[in-house]
Amino acid sequence: MHDTDHRNAKVNKSATGPLALYIHWPFCVSKCPYCDFNSHVREQVDVATWQRALLADMAHEASLTPGRPLSSIFFGGGTPSLMPPSLVEALITAAERHWGFTADIEITLEANPSSVEAANFHDLAKAGVNRVSLGLQSLDDQTLEFLGRAHDVHEGLAALDTAQQAFDRVSFDLIYARPGQSLADWQRELERALAFGTGHLSLYQLTIEPGTRFETLVRTGALIPADDDHCADLFELNRSIMTAAGLPAYEISNHARPGQESRHNLTYWRYEDYIGIGPGAHGRRLDSATERHKKPENFLSAVARNGNGLKLEQALSPQTRAMEALMMGLRLAEGVDLEALEAKTGLAVAEMVDRDEVAELAGMGFVEQREDRLTVLPKGMPLLDALLPKMIADVLRT
């Protein structure tokens, strides 16, 4: 077998492994001022119509990926905890019928910590959900009001307690780098968060996204974001406190006890195949990128017209896949195995990394390359967006 044949054989083999499934529920009770996700507020939602549409969209994708079991399902949004448990159960049942499940499948649902939604947690667990990601966002009432959240700290912690009783695994989110937040304030909040004993925490820096209400406030001078140096100090504090507590960072914003990492999100970051259904959902399967219609009504119309919600289906060149895999994989503490990436793309990826730039950045303590593994070190993680174009040779960007 020639080298190119051997490489192609390895590429084809990757199309037979397990898949991940992402299901987007686009509806929220209200729109948070920092949020740029595909979320919509509607007075009424016809659940029966949405069940038919999502099942049809799922069936279309299943017809293109036979024989590949699901290793994870992720219900994202929007606010998936607003979904009736019966709908969640119907989607999980259909997914198992279409693809089958690996023995240790992870089924995650994002949830808001309101008492109304927490009341459904036990029913969602019975429906098959075994992991919940809870949007606490803060342990301070004034901050929750600033962030536009509908819950207060008491309600949020009650929902966390319910979640820990209902689900095998629990994660929750916190937002830091809020205006006026000191290092001491954030350290106290982090230490309190760790005391609840969850195996996974997502710590997101407050960023001002285009089109959000916060962007308008910044533009008019009504909101002044934290400066870059302070954000870097807060990021370093995250790393030191979480590592000492036994939840090291395995990705820029995500911290977990060993074995508690989000397997679904690792599928994205390791550049494995995943299916995306529902409004605005993205997917990557069989070397193609997919995107669904974003507006809920347009998605429903597309399903009624075509039997699926696809807006775009585009073949990805080996160069594009290599670029995307590097950009995603370098977010991880484990870094990128360049030889494995070569097997996925058929390209000599190691030759496309600018060795001189990598050596210079390594000397500054930002990155490390050992044989075929390229890793961004903790010092370089806050600067990842700036480091990537330096490390990736021009040939890869063509």
CATH 3.20.20.70 residue window(s) in the chain: 15-269
Range with the poorest average pLDDT among 248-257, 268-277, 339-348, 370-379: 339-348
Residue keyed to tokens 């050992």: 370
pLDDT tens for 73-111 read 999 988 899 999 999 999 999 999 999 999 999 999 999
Spatial distance between the Cα atoms of 268 and 228, rounded to a whole number of angstroms = 27
pLDDT tens for 63-80 read 999 999 999 999 998 889
Percent pLDDT > 90 in the chain is 66
CATH architecture of the domain covering 15-269: Alpha-Beta Barrel (3.20)
Spatial distance between the Cα atoms of 5 and 25, rounded to a whole number of angstroms = 42
- Cis geometry, peptide bond prior to residue 156 (ω within 30 degrees of 0): no
Residue 18 phi, psi dihedral angles, 5° rounding: -65, 160
pLDDT of 32 > 80? The answer is: no
The helix or strand, by DSSP H or E, that contains position 158, with its residue range, turns out to be helix 153-166
- β-partners of residue 109 are 75, 132
What CATH number has the domain spanning 319-397? 1.10.10.920
Spatial distance between the Cα atoms of 132 and 106, rounded to a whole number of angstroms = 10
Mean pLDDT, rounded, for 297-306: 97
Which residues neighbour 257 within 8 Å (Cβ) at sequence distance 6 or greater?
199, 200, 246, 247
Q: pTM (2 decimals)?
A: 0.90
Question: Could you tell me which residue, 45 or 249, shows the higher pLDDT?
Answer: 249
Mean pLDDT, rounded, for 349-367: 89
Q: How confident is the model at residue 312 (pLDDT cuts 50, 70, 90)?
A: very high
pLDDT at 31: 60
